[in-house]
Amino acid sequence: DPKSSSGSGSETWGLWRDDPGPRGVYLKDYDRRLKANNNVAPAGWSFDPTDWWVEEHGLIMSTPEPLPRKSVNKETKEIIPEKQYVVTGDREITTVLTVRDDGTWELEKGSLYDVTHLPCRSAAYRGDTCAPMNANLKDFPVKPGAEMPVINGCAKQDYAVLFVLGEAV
């Protein structure tokens, strides 16, 4: 819910430590740049044909790592069951996002909408019959605020994009 400032489900969130866009492969180039190269992108990341990510311009991206939800006390080395990130949507609000090991999360101020980078869209496409060549290239680019398109044979999960500016240490 974009109006939420807290909730659960952060165990399903991911994190790209580097912008995945420049390392991506366009859907139209899937056969030539991924499939023909044993599902390894020119940038070196591996493509899983049963679980893959696309952004709003039709660019297949590397899979994000799971969002870390624990931190370590630097002095005592104690594991702390939460982690804090400074996040923004590159608009008016920059705030602290706290995610906990149990999957709960909360924003210090604002809502998910406030810290979502509205022009960006991404979705995970999954399934044994899910294939990039099933995508209708006319569905891209996706308009800001719209859901990512359905791709035949795929289960789809849409994700909002937040910019992580830093991590609390």
Q: Where are the beta strands (DSSP E) in 74-131?
A: 79-80, 82-88, 94-100, 105-107, 122-126
pTM over 0.75: yes
* Per-residue pLDDT of the chain in tens (169 residues, 90 and over written 9): 889 999 999 999 999 998 998 999 999 999 999 999 999 999 999 999 999 999 999 999 999 999 999 999 999 999 999 999 999 999 999 999 999 999 999 999 999 999 998 888 899 999 999 999 999 999 999 988 889 999 999 999 999 889 999 998 7
